[in-house]
């Protein structure tokens, strides 16, 4: 797909004019096709990795479907299915690849077994923030590489949300040193799990619907999920005593919309633009939602539920960061696609962190009161 990350101004203007014209049509949305020609309404299905209507994630999928329907004036509608309603959460990619559904809503690190380099397009430990990764994807060469990575599977990826910096997670015991990570059974996906394994822990991946029970029964000793907004909704504070920060493992996690390439290319150009623009809109919308709700939920966890929010020790974070770069270097050595994506990511990372250090970081450090 040779479409730009952002539709050109002329294209946006054309799409806006078309949609305005469609709204004035008396005959209804099925007749609002490019050039005024007749077209039948198109119905798509979207499967997600989240429980239905789950805060931030599930509601973000719902919002994406809503935007597509509204922007297309009903010419393209999307029915959303939560995890396990149509397919299990970790089979979203397969369903889109097979064409069982036209869309999926998930995160790319779930597919590391198929495409190890896909993890860059969600998050890396000690990596890019939400603002920074949007820069890499839209203007720094990241999105074309993402499309290349998914091309063999007939899937087009779109950024469709971001959780922002996450929490390190919920722990049934205190973490005072690196020794406390040894033997720790923790739900943690992606590269964060691989790094933690090198530190002596045992990572596993568990869907959201099973986290509370696994933590409460001792099947796992710790779990990271997202942050206060989602963690409060899952009731994880009832299953573990200690809530640690910072979210070293997920510093700005991109949520992806997966689109079956054949279904996308069958759309008329203006509806292809609608899908792309709707994903851009929900990408901003979900991050804004998380920013507000995380702040509110953190206050609730501390003030109403007495949650102990603690910082991970500095020496633990230093070792996890060392292991992160060691892991990435070793993975790049044996995978050509991974190496090329890593090169792009690392070059951008080195460039943008210099700016972030004297911009956002300085302002945050200087805040008082």
Q: How far apart (Å, rounded) are the C-alpha atoms in residues 127 and 120?
A: 9
Q: Does some domain include residue 124?
A: yes
| Number of independent structural domains in the chain | 1
Domain interval for residue 28: 10-163+252-291
The confidence score (pLDDT) of residue 108 equals 97
Tokens of 126: 């000690």
pLDDT digits (tens, 9 = 90+) for 118-158: 999 999 999 999 999 999 999 999 999 999 999 999 999 99
> Contact, 105 vs 47, CB < 8 A?
yes
Question: Is 261 part of a structural domain of the chain?
Answer: yes
Interatomic CA distance for residues 194 and 188, integer angstroms: 9
Residue 362 within any structural domain of the chain: no
The per-residue pLDDT for 12 is: 40
Residue 132 falls inside a structural domain: yes
**pLDDT (tens place) for every residue of the chain, 369 residues total:** 444 443 433 344 344 444 444 433 333 444 444 444 446 899 999 999 999 999 999 999 999 999 999 999 999 999 999 999 999 999 999 999 999 999 999 999 999 999 999 999 999 999 999 999 999 999 999 999 999 999 999 999 999 999 999 999 999 999 999 999 999 999 999 999 999 999 999 999 998 889 999 999 999 999 999 999 999 999 999 999 999 999 999 999 999 999 999 999 999 999 999 999 999 999 999 999 999 999 999 999 999 999 999 999 999 999 999 999 999 999 999 999 999 999 999 999 999 999 999 999 999 999 987
Q: Which helix (H) or strand (E) holds 124?
A: none
**Positive or negative CA dihedral for 135, 137, 138, 141?**
positive
SS3 309: strand
Phi, psi (degrees; rounded to nearest 5) at 183: 85, 0
> For residue 243, what are the CA distances in angstroms to 127, 227, 312, 346?
21, 10, 10, 30
What's the distance, CA 131 to chain centroid?
13
**Amino acid 368: pLDDT:** 82
Q: Coil, helix or strand for 39?
A: coil
Nearest residue to 338 via CA among 107, 114, 155:
114
Task: Give just the sign of the alpha carbon dihedral 79, 82, 88, 91.
Answer: positive
Specify the DSSP class assigned to residue 103. Answer: E
The pLDDT score that the predictor gives to residue 18 is 42
Instruction: Kindly report the CATH number assigned to the domain that includes residue 70.
Output: 3.40.190.170
Backbone angles phi, psi at 4, to 5 degrees: -70, 155
Q: What is the dihedral of CA 330, 335, 337, 343, to 10 degrees?
A: 20
Q: Is residue 61 part of a domain?
A: yes
Closest CA to 12 of 281, 274, 279: 274
Return d(Cα 175, Cα 288) in angstroms, integer: 31
Domain membership flag for residue 152: yes
Which pLDDT value is given to residue 208? 87
Residue 202 lies in a domain: no
Residue 26 lies in a domain: yes
Q: Could you read off the pLDDT of 188-202 as tens digits, one per residue?
A: 999 999 999 999 999
- How many CA atoms within 13 Å lie on the side-chain side of 86? 22
How far apart are alpha carbons 156 and 147 in whole angstroms?
Answer: 6
3-state secondary structure 153-211: HCEEEEEEEECCCCCCEEECCCCCCHHHHCCCEEECCHHHHHHHHHCCCEEECCCHHHH
Cis before 246 (ω within 30)? yes
Conformational region of residue 342, where left means phi above 0, alpha means psi within -120 to 50, and beta covers everything else: alpha
């Amino acid at each position: 797909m040779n479409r730009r990350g952002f539709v050109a101004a002329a294209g946006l203007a054309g799409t806006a004019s078309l949609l305005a014209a469609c709204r004035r049509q008396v005959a209804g949305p099925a007749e609002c096709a490019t050039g005024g020609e007749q077209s039948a309404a198109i119905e798509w299905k979207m499967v997600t990795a989240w429980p239905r209507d789950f805060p931030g994630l599930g509601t973000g999928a719902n919002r994406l479907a809503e935007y597509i329907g509204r922007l297309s004036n009903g010419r393209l509608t999307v029915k959303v299915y939560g995890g396990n309603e149509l397919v299990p959460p970790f089979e979203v990619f397969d369903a889109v690849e097979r064409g069982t559904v036209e869309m999926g809503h998930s995160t790319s690190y779930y597919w590391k077994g198929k495409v190890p380099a896909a993890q860059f397009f969600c998050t890396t430990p000690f990596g890019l923030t939400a603002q920074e990764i949007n820069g890499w994807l839209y203007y720094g060469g990241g999105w074309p590489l993402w499309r290349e990575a998914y091309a063999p599977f007939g899937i087009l990826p779109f950024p469709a949300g971001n959780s922002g910096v996450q929490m390190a997670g919920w722990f049934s015991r205190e973490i005072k040193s690196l020794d406390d990570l040894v033997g720790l059974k923790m739900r943690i996906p992606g590269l964060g799990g691989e790094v933690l394994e090198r530190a002596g822990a045992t990572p596993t991946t568990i869907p959201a619907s099973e986290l509370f029970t696994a933590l409460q029964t001792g099947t796992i000793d710790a779990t990271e999920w997202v942050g206060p907004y989602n963690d409060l909704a899952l009731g994880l504070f009832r299953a573990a005593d200690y809530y640690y920060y910072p979210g070293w493992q997920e510093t700005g996690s991109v949520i992806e919309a997966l689109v079956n390439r054949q279904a996308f290319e069958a759309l008329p150009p203006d509806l292809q633009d609608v899908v792309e623009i709707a994903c851009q809109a929900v990408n901003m919308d979900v991050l804004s939602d998380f920013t507000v709700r995380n702040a509110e939920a953190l206050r609730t966890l501390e003030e109403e539920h007495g949650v102990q929010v603690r910082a991970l020790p500095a020496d633990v974070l230093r070792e996890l960061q060392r292991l992160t770069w060691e892991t990435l270097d070793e993975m790049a050595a044996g995978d050509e696609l991974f190496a090329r994506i890593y090169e792009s990511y690392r070059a951008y990372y080195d460039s943008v962190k210099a700016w972030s250090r004297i911009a956002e970081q300085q302002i945050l450090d200087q805040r008082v009161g």
